[in-house]
Amino acid sequence: MQLQQALAAQQVLVQAIRQEEQIDQHVLDAFSHIPRHEFVLEFYERVLNNKHVAWRQHKQTEIREDAWLQLVYRDAALTTRLDANGFPGSSSSMPSIMAAMLQALQIKRGQRVLEIGTGTGYNAALLAYLVGDPHLVTTIDVEKELVELAEPAILRCIGPGMTIIAGDGLRGVESNAPYDRIIATGSYPNVPHPWLDQLAPGGLLLMNLQRNLANIMLLLKKAEQGVIAGKILPIKASFMPLHDGTGAYYRCPVPHKPIEPVLQELSSPPSFQPSNLSHKEFGFFFQ
């Protein structure tokens, strides 16, 4: 692939990101240095065929070079994998959304980062550029095949040193903890406790929380005393639910015991039982 064409297409994407969001130069530089086309060698486009939804596959090897670069460097999410039922199983997220999330994490050089959901490896490579050393980045994905595809692309773009694991991301990666930053590129109905346990004091965790009617981008901070506080960010995005590797989505357990009182009126401040969020009826009411 001709380098000049690729660089030109890459800069078009960077300019699109610059116009969409208030993004720091450090984050823009990451998108300028990490080539998206190295991580997306094929993708699926949803089309309407006789009133039925179908998927059209696009492969780098089957499309003219300049046309392929224009497709890959659009500011758009690209579905890169379908599951056994024909539903999207993995994607390269919309770059402007990725940039907004990286901006929200305030990533600095020298910080240790955990990514839940390696996918194509593109975001992991961006993280490595931002922290300045691939050895500081740990990324995990439940699908071994995705990890095997992402690893050589990561090596080509940022060199050796990153910890790339095939495994259950809900458990985090305790061996490399604590992390200054944790980012999840798949959605989940609550905040997994291992992520909070593995977050360093003062660290930030960013995830897409989805349950019933809620779809929010949640940024949490762990105080020095271990207290977790956070806020909902105005980032409009929806990520694919985390799954167990077979395509079955992870779901929060429903308590077997009757739901406890949600608020105790006499306590100050009112106390809240986090387990109530796993209760189907209350979860709907709460939202």
Annotated catalytic residues are 93
Strand order across the beta sheet in which 113-116 lies: 163-166, 137-141, 113-116, 179-184, 199-211, 214-222, 228-233
Q: Residues 90, 142: contact at Cβ < 8 Å?
A: no
Prior bond to 178 cis, omega within 30?
yes
Residues in the chain: 287
Q: What distance, in Å, lies between the first and last C-alpha atoms of the chain? A: 49
User: How many other CB atoms are there within 10 angstroms of residue 1's CB atom?
Assistant: 12
Q: Residues 46, 82: contact at Cβ < 8 Å?
A: no
User: How many other CB atoms are there within 10 angstroms of residue 87's CB atom?
Assistant: 11
Q: Which two tokens stand for residue 77?
A: 């999410």
Residue 73 has what DSSP assignment? T
Q: Which two tokens stand for residue 251?
A: 């779901």
